[in-house]
Amino acid sequence: PKGPEVKVTPELIAEGKKIYFSAGCNACHGGTGGGGMCPPLTNDIWVYGSDDDTLRTLISEGTAAMITHGKTRVGHE
């Protein structure tokens, strides 16, 4: 099911930035999300798709090569 529409506010952006850094996403995707050893998050090209459900799954579960929530994920993408 599709989630509700969310109004983007400065507070929501600040919370997202806090989560991005506290989860360690910046270690691989760079401090601004522009990429590093992993793909950038700031463009319209997405390996797995850009729909809300896909992005929600990628953020919450990661991919085979991601380290997320303290768990090492090893495999081929």
Global pTM value: 0.67
Whether 65 has a pLDDT exceeding 60, the answer reads: yes
Chain segment 6-63, per-residue pLDDT in tens: 899 999 999 999 988 988 888 888 999 998 888 898 888 788 888 888 888 888 777 7
Whether 67 has a pLDDT exceeding 80, the answer reads: no
Residues 6+ apart with CB under 8 A from 63: 48, 73, 77
* Number of CB atoms found within 10 A of residue 42's CB: 11
- Dist CA 50 CA 56 (whole Å): 10
Residue 73: the pLDDT is 45
